[in-house]
Structure 1
Amino acid sequence: MTVVSEDFIVGEVSENPEARAGSSFMRPVEFVSALLMAAVVVLLMAGVISRYVINTPLVWVEEAASICFIWLAMLGSAIALDRNEHLRLTLFLRLLPDRLQGPVEATALAAVAAFLIGMLPIAYEYAYEEWFITSAALHIPNTFRVAGIPVGFTMMLGLLIAHAFRAHSLREILIGTLVVAALTAIFWVLSDQFIAIGNVSLAFFLVLIVAFGLASGVPIAFCFGLGTLCYLAFASYVPAYVMIGRMDEGMSGVILLSVPVFVLLGCLLDTTGMGKTIVDFLASILGHVKAGMSYVLLTSLFIVSGISGSKVSDMATVAPALFPEMKRRGNKPPEMIAQLATGAAMADTVPPSIVLIVLGAVAGISIADLFASGFVVAIVLLLALMALARWRARKESMGGVRRAPLKVVLQLLVIAAPALVLPFIIRGAVSSGVATATEVSTIAVVYALAIGIVLYGGISYRTIYKMLVDTAAMSGAILLILGTALSMAWAITQAGVGQTIADFAANLPGGVFSFIAMSIVIFFVLGCVLEGLPALVLMSPLMFPIAAGFGMHPVHYAMIVVVAMNIGLMAPPIGIGFYLACRIGNVPPDDALRAIWPYIMALVTGLVMIAAFPWISLSVL
């Protein structure tokens, strides 16, 4: 399986396991990761049953799940590295002459290796020191939990070395190693000067070095980590040991337990065909009107997103089911891609949005409030996209299109009903406060698994195992980004940059309106360059306190920045979501480039309304 964009590599999984760097070695790691993922679901479900069924909470469940979680994150990161599924920018790399691409990629690998080598002794020291901290419920040393960090780093280093010698010549490896070693030596010699110039060195390491790493093809997670480690080691008196604690915090927050569970739910949605049943039902009731299939496409993304929480899963579920019929009716592929990409951006605030879960964890905002507000915000954006689709379809050919018979509609409703119920269970339970996002995600997975086995053709053990491994890899890639981004955000905050930005924002002409405009531009650009989660984790600790200083409600501000970020994510020529949509729909990006901009502007119009009228975001709280 391959998911590769023109300018980003999102994942490149070889169909031949032997072609991967650590295929034989990674099989037992994948097996352990699958067990850990299953254990997380079982433990969380046991907690739900003990809390709500037998009314006797199991206090140790959360700690046991947390231990499994950090190991899952680190082993999953290693699997993602083996599969080349860590997000990295390749736009600038491809612009280089062929003779330079190999040495530059080898240098990127050497940079990642340098980060891992630098972190390993610190990670082992951190695990050793945690031996003296005992968990509250299980009464075991915390080392059993955090030992996953050095073990994961060690495995990633071994895989990286194996991949380097498999993919590059010895000459390229030597060039890359010498470049990284030379830069390290220069930074060490100039460390006193870096400390003396203060925040200028912060900009050098956390902006220029990170940007250079991104341009060279270093995965985003490692760019953040490398920039932060270099800053702490060469430009500050803060021990690099602190960075491990921030990474641990970023990867193992209890609220983040719902992330891999919702990722697994997205896999179940795709595998069982539950998403397709929803699409078929919507097509039967909307497909006969002008722009009807566009309505179905956008509405399907809205509903399906309420189950999976994943943009990639949403697009991969909806596109194959609808694109053939849309082409038959005369819809042009570029227009379909534009609707698919912007529809996925619109639906990213529909619960259970992984972006909103992470934002709630990082910014300390109620996830129930974010879910309730996100649902309303998504409706506003949906209406904007549907209005544009209707106007552009005014000349659509409806020859031969017939309304589906009522009997067929009812049959499809019966088939889709178990799947249609799921998003409302998730949304209602979290928004009403009946259950947490983590508890609801677990219930949803068990429900989807049972429905898939009983009503949707069953799921083989091999398929379940593959889903568990895929979930571990995707979750590991996400959580490593969160860990390194949080450590980078901490370094920026400690250097006083947050106060500098706050002072700058406070002195902007126009006050809060200028701050909102500045926030939209910042998150739009970061959405293009860094993808969603890294941008939020990096900037939220800086921007949300400033928004609070202007008297903005945190949920209202959250909706503004998430929508701006999602628009940037789908905006060419850099936005990764645009290229993912092109890949899924098998349309060249050059063909879709012009078609997407009217839909981007429709989303911008919706964003302006959301920013200008806070009651849109806050009316349901």
Structure 2
Amino acid sequence: MATSENVSRPVICTWPVLAKAETGLVRLIELIGAALVVVEVLVLSAGVFARYAWGEPLIWSDELASMLFLWLSIVGAVLAFHRGQHMRMGVIADAMPPVVRARLEVGALVFCLSVCVLLLPKATAYALHEVPVVTPAMEVSVAWRSFGLPIGLGLMLILGMTNALQRIRLSDFLIGVLVAACLIGLAIAAKPLIMAMGNWNLVLFFVVFIALGVLSGVPIAFVFALAAISYVALGTSRPISVIAGRLDEGMSHLLLLAVPLFVLLGMLMEVTGMAKAMLNFLASLLGHVRGGLCYVLVAAMYLVSGISGSKTADMAAVAPALFPEMKARGSKPGDLVALLAATGAQTETIPPSLVLITIGSVTSVSISALFIGGLLPAFVCGLMLCVVVWWRYRNEDMSGFRKPPAREIFRTFLIALPALALPFIIRTAVAEGVATATEVSTIGIAYSLLAGLLIYRRFDWKRVGPMLVETAVLSGAILFIIAAATAVAWCLTQSGFSRGLVQTMAGLPGGAPIFMIVSIVAFIVLGSVLEGIPAVVLFAPLVFPIAKGLGIHDVHYSIVVILAMGVGLFLPPFGVGYYAACAIGRVNPVEGIKPLWGYMIALLLGLAIVAAVPWISIGFL
């Protein structure tokens, strides 16, 4: 995942008081974020325990979890903003000369601050409007949740200004502010012309504007948010406060609470040594055959993806453990990062993938069914990758490597067994109804803690605090972009675009097969440009009714869409997942592009098989 970076320019002031105040504020926010992660785990765990141990559910647990979830989302988004970890398309901006790149960074900061300035008063008004509304179970005002958004926007504004004062030349910043003010003034003056465009203004706001913002290196979430604000303010007669409501809704959907909890679970896997144990077992099993460690990489990503839910976390857990040995055996760095990227695309449907959870939450498709339906399609795509590995390494010299004795393989298997059991525990708990897709993460967290403390005994307590903060940061970056994409999706729906899209795609000749082909191509492009989660939030609610009307099973269509977006996410030149894989493997992106095409062709063939044979996705439902 590409991220925005802090502007590296000459310091314009060295105010110790300002620096200390910024440091203290950030530490306080980090403490709140870490505490919220812990409290969410405890609240959901209490709900599961009460339901199955006492036989009586806690009627307030979901309500409290939802209320705290918005605070966790916005606190994480604030920390991600301060650290420069919001998703962005940085490839083009980073390729610019240093002077141009520095100006684009200043412009990106001013862009983000403009979103906060425009939205803060409306979010405050929205929160005040929610004061009389009372929750049904706890009987407290909904404003306790709703005020999280304006407070978060205010904190972003404060941290953004302190960043500008300390790290950007005052003249550059003032020029950026002046340009932004002029652009806003011109837009307001042009409102009658924009209104006269009718629905053609959708192209202006949601194609031209978003494309320019994303390609300039502005964080995607802020581009989406300002596009939605601009459309409502200039292209409609509705108040901007409706965007605040959509952001609130997008950041507090209880199903999405699985995002931070599974991110935490993935980090626990690495801290406790469970991921390392799995890799050691697979290496002992396959390390002596031609291309053996490549097969280990494919299998390890399949297993680890069933635990962490985050592609970046998956690759970061697997690559450092395997790449050194693979390089020692003569594998080229470009080949390694190409396979790593391909396995990232292949495992997008392995539960509990964040994209699976997201697509279930925005389309009302059963997340439990998606968890079951995603396993075999990923296995089929993995087999296609293994065919390419076999062909490329069929002449590898393995004379210097011996097959380990059965006793050694069995020993590594016993060590890895607790780790290997975790994916099956998670999937079984969901399938049997022991816990929901959100709650099951707490079972995995408890299991990982016990395994780390009692079995592997590799738990480093010093890493708990940073791990909790990192969970909040990564989750905030993901959830803020979902919230902004929810606002854009609402704009597209209210404009009538969705009805036009439905009519156009429903009228395609050829019925379901042609619709499926068009969907695959469209979501490969969308996955490349927008990444999986925002593309799902924006377009899945629009196209799923069409698929259902054509008789396509919703789980089958979900799996095909996710795999298509996975291919796009890791497909250069725009697929940011590929550049994340290069960063993790510390490989120049140019080295991996050529070998990547063979793996991508294999994935496309696997995707075609999954799309043509619905049983692969729905046969075990």
Q: TM-score, normalised by structure 2?
A: 0.96
Q: How much has 1:13 moved relative to structure 2?
A: 12
- Tell me by how many angstroms 1:20 deviates: 11
Indicate whether 1:596 and 2:590 are aligned.
no
Task: Look up the match of 1:552.
Answer: 552
Distance 1:294 1:21 in 2: 49
State how far apart, in whole Å, the 2-side matches of 1:316 and 1:10 are: 19
CA contact (8 A) 1:108 1:176 kept: no
- SS of match in other structure, 2:456: coil
**Over the residues paired in the alignment, what is the CA RMSD in angstroms?**
1.9
One-letter amino acid of the counterpart of residue 368, structure 1: S
Indicate the SS of the match to 2:231.
helix
Which residue of structure 2 aligns with residue 308 of structure 1?
A: 308
User: Does structure 1 conserve the Cα–Cα contact (< 8 Å) formed by 2:544 and 2:554?
Assistant: yes
Question: Who is 1:400 aligned against?
Answer: 400
Question: 1: distance between equivalents of 2:36 and 2:536?
Answer: 27
Residue 3 (structure 2) aligns with: 9
When structure 1 is superposed on structure 2, of 59-68 and 357-366 the one drifting more is: 59-68
Residue type matched to 1:107 in 2? G
Report the CA distance shift for 1:451/1:252 in structure 2 as closer, same or farther (over 3 A): same
> Which secondary structure does the structure 1 equivalent of 2:457 belong to?
coil
Unmatched runs of 5 consecutive residues or more in structure 1? none
Determine if contact 2:531/2:576 at 8 Å carries over to the other structure: yes
Question: Which whole-Å deviations, capped at 9, do the CAs of 1:492-530 have from their partners, x for residues lacking one?
Answer: 011111111122213323232222222112211111111
Q: Determine if contact 2:246/2:487 at 8 Å carries over to the other structure.
A: yes
* Letter of the 1:559 counterpart: I
**Residues 479 and 281 (structure 1 numbering): CA distance in 2 closer, same or farther, change over 3 Å?**
same
Residue type of the partner of 1:139? E
The residue aligned with 1:339 is 339
Match of 1:386 in 2: 386
Displacement of 1:99 in angstroms is 3.1
Which 4+ residue blocks in structure 1 deviate beyond 6 angstroms?
10-14, 17-21
Q: Distance between the aligned counterparts of 1:221 and 1:264, measured in 2? A: 22
Paired position in structure 1 for 2:126: 126
Corresponding residue number in structure 2 for 1:569 = 569
Residue matched to 2:289: 289
Partner of 1:352: 352
Deviations 1:243-283 (A, max 9, x none): 12211111111111111000000111122221110010011
SS in structure 1 opposite 2:3? strand
Q: Read off the aligned partner of 1:197 and give its amino acid letter.
A: M
What is the count of residue pairs matched by the alignment?
Answer: 613
User: What does 1:199-214 correspond to in 2, within 5 Å?
Assistant: 199-214=199-214
Question: For the residues of structure 1 that align with 2:218 and 2:247, how far apart are their CA atoms?
Answer: 19
Q: Would the aligned equivalents of 1:12 and 1:85 in 2 still touch at CA under 8 Å?
A: no
**What code does the residue aligned with 2:143 have?**
T
Instruction: Give the Cα–Cα distance (whole angstroms) in 2 for the partners of residues 10 and 172 of structure 1.
Output: 18
Q: Verify the 8 A CA contact 1:272 1:458 in the aligned structure 2.
A: yes
Say if 1:379 and 1:21 are closer, same or farther in 2 by CA, change over 3 A.
Answer: farther
CA contact 2:6–2:84 (8 Å) conserved in 1: yes
Following superposition, the deviation at residue 11 of structure 1 comes to 6.9
Question: CA deviation digits over 1:347-366, x for unaligned, max 9?
Answer: 12111111101110011100
Q: Deviations over 1:223-254 (max 9, x none)?
A: 00000000000110122111122111111111
Name the SS for the 1:58 alignment partner. coil
Which residue does the alignment assign to 1:516?
516
Partner Cα distance (1:163, 1:543) in 2: 42
Alignment check: 8 A CA contact 1:298 1:382 kept = yes
1:19, 1:582 → 2: CA distance? 34
Instruction: Report the equivalent of 2:12.
Output: none
Which deviates more, 554-563 or 87-96?
87-96
Greater Cα offset, 19-28 or 339-348 = 19-28
Deviation at 1:598, TM superposition (A): 0.2
Change (3 A) 1:475 1:249: same
- Conserved 8 A contact 1:103-1:173: no
What's the secondary structure of 1:132's corresponding residue? coil
Corresponding residue number in structure 1 for 2:76: 76
Contact kept? 2:89, 2:576, Cα under 8 Å: no
State the AA in 1 paired with 2:546.
I
Distance, in Å, in 2 between the alignment partners of 1:577 and 1:245 is 31
Q: CA offsets, 1:62-116, max 9 Å, x none?
A: 1111121111111111111111110112223234443333333222222211111
CA distance in 2, matches of 1:192, 1:266: 51
**After alignment, is 35-44 or 456-465 more displaced?**
456-465
Structure 2 counterpart of 1:237: 237
Alpha carbons of structure 1 residues 306 and 20: separation in structure 2 relative to 1, 3 Å: farther
Q: Give the structure 2 partner of residue 430 of structure 1.
A: 430
**Separation in 2, partners of 1:547, 1:384:** 27
- How far does the alpha carbon of each residue in 1:163-190 deviate from its partner, in whole angstroms, 9 at most, with x for none? 2233321221122112211111111111
- Report the counterpart of residue 497 of structure 2 in structure 1: 497
Which residue in the other structure is 2:415 paired with?
415
Residue in 2 aligned with 1:587? Answer: 587
* Amino acid in the other structure paired with 2:349: T
* 1:317 to 1:164, Cα distance in 2 relative to 1, 3 A: same
Contact kept in structure 1, 2:489 and 2:537, CA below 8 Å: yes
1:426 and 1:441 in contact (8 A); partners too? yes
**SS of aligned partner of 1:85:** coil
Deviation at 1:304, TM superposition (A): 0.9
8 Å CA contact retained: 1:316, 1:584:
yes
Match of 2:11 in 1: none
Alpha-carbon deviations, 1:8-46, whole Å to 9, x = none?
A: 3367899xx999993332101101111111000011111
Tell me, in whole angstroms, the C-alpha distance in 2 between the residues paired with 1:21 and 1:511.
62
Identity %: 45
User: What corresponds to 1:34 in structure 2?
Assistant: 34
Look up the SS of the partner of 2:509 in the other structure.
Answer: coil
Instruction: Give the unaligned 5+ runs of structure 2.
Output: 9-15
Supply the AA of the counterpart residue of 1:494.
Q
Distance 1:460 1:591 in 2: 36
Q: Secondary structure of the residue that 2:239 maps to in structure 1?
A: coil
2:475 aligns to what?
475
**Amino acid in structure 1 at the alignment position of 2:208:** L
- For 1:373, give the aligned amino acid: G
Matches of 1:496 and 1:50 in 2, distance apart?
Answer: 45
Please tell me whether the aligned partners of residues 527 and 565 of structure 1 are also in contact (alpha carbons under 8 angstroms).
yes
Report the Cα distance in structure 2 between the residues aligned to 1:13 and 1:450, rounded to whole angstroms: 42
> Is it true that 1:223 corresponds to 2:223 in the alignment?
yes
The corresponding residue for 2:44 is 44
C-alpha distance in 1 between matches for 2:589 and 2:216? 22
SS at match of 2:345: helix
Q: Kindly tell me: are residues 480 and 19 of structure 1, through their superposed partners in 2, closer, same or farther at Cα, counting changes over 3 Å?
A: same
SS class of match (2:567): helix
Q: For the structure 1 residues 506 and 20, does the alpha-carbon distance in structure 2 shift closer, same or farther, using more than 3 Å as the test?
A: farther
Query: What letter matches 1:9 in structure 2?
Result: T
Give me the whole-angstrom Cα distance separating, in 1, the residues matched to 2:163 and 2:572. 31
CA distance in 1, matches of 2:543, 2:470: 34
What is the deviation of 1:330?
A: 2.4
Question: Which stretch shows the higher mean deviation, 366-375 or 198-207?
Answer: 198-207
Query: How far apart, in 1, do the equivalents of 2:560 and 2:20 lie?
Result: 41
Deviations 1:285-325 (A, max 9, x none): 12222222111110011011111111111111111211222
Tell me, in whole angstroms, the C-alpha distance in 2 between the residues paired with 1:358 and 1:21: 37
Inter-CA distance 21–181: structure 2 relative to 1 (3 Å threshold):
farther
**1:410 is matched by which residue type in structure 2?**
F
Residue 455 of structure 1 aligns to a residue whose secondary structure is: helix
Q: Which amino acid aligns with 2:163?
A: H
* 1:102 equivalent in structure 2: 102
- Secondary structure in structure 1 of the residue aligned to 2:34: helix
Whole-angstrom distance in 1 between the partners of 2:506 and 2:20: 52
Alpha-carbon separation, structure 2, partners of 1:19 and 1:183 = 32
The letter for the 2-side match of 1:497 is F
